[in-house]
Amino acid sequence: MLLGALLLASTVVHAQYAWIDERGVRHFSDQPPPTSTPASKILKAPRGAQPATEAVPAAPVAGTPAPAAMPAAPASPAKAAQSLAEREADYQKRRAQAQEDEKKAAVAKKQADDRRANCAAALRDKTQLASGRRLRTQQNIVMTEADKAREQANVERVLNDCKAPAAP
């Protein structure tokens, strides 16, 4: 009979709770944690123990994530299917938006690359125009001083655009 009493008492002794309080301190006890302790902070509870009613803590601990709310289960299969269809539609919408954003980013990158290439070409042209050498046009005609002045004005205009920030 004494052995039976010891076996009964041993199961009560093993009923241990472990939780982390609002200051981040870990507690071990055979008593349940305070009701202000959220369920996400309870690390261990004995089998069959009823969870205490959860209260909102007065001051959350900085750096600890807030417990995520569990979504409510749909009331009927029709609502579940509708919810699934809505989620699929939302996914497709996000996917289309992401593809559109990628296209816009690709166009913006190409424009930036083209702008850089134009600026580099304008710098090369400016260097050639300032060299004082005889230059020829694409039709293999020697450029006059007036042609050089017009070309210099065009190069300066392009270089001024290179200094300005790119339009979004």
Residue positions counted in the chain: 168
Extract the tokens encoding 56.
């909102």
E-assigned strands of the chain? 17-20, 26-29, 42-44
pLDDT in tens, 3-49: 777 666 655 555 588 889 888 899 888 888 888 888 889 888 877 66
pLDDT interval class at 93 (50, 70, 90):
very high
Cα distance between residue 57 and residue 38, in whole Å: 7
| pTM (2 d.p.) | 0.41
Q: Which phi-psi region, left, alpha or beta, contains residue 58 (left: φ > 0; alpha: ψ -120 to 50)?
A: alpha
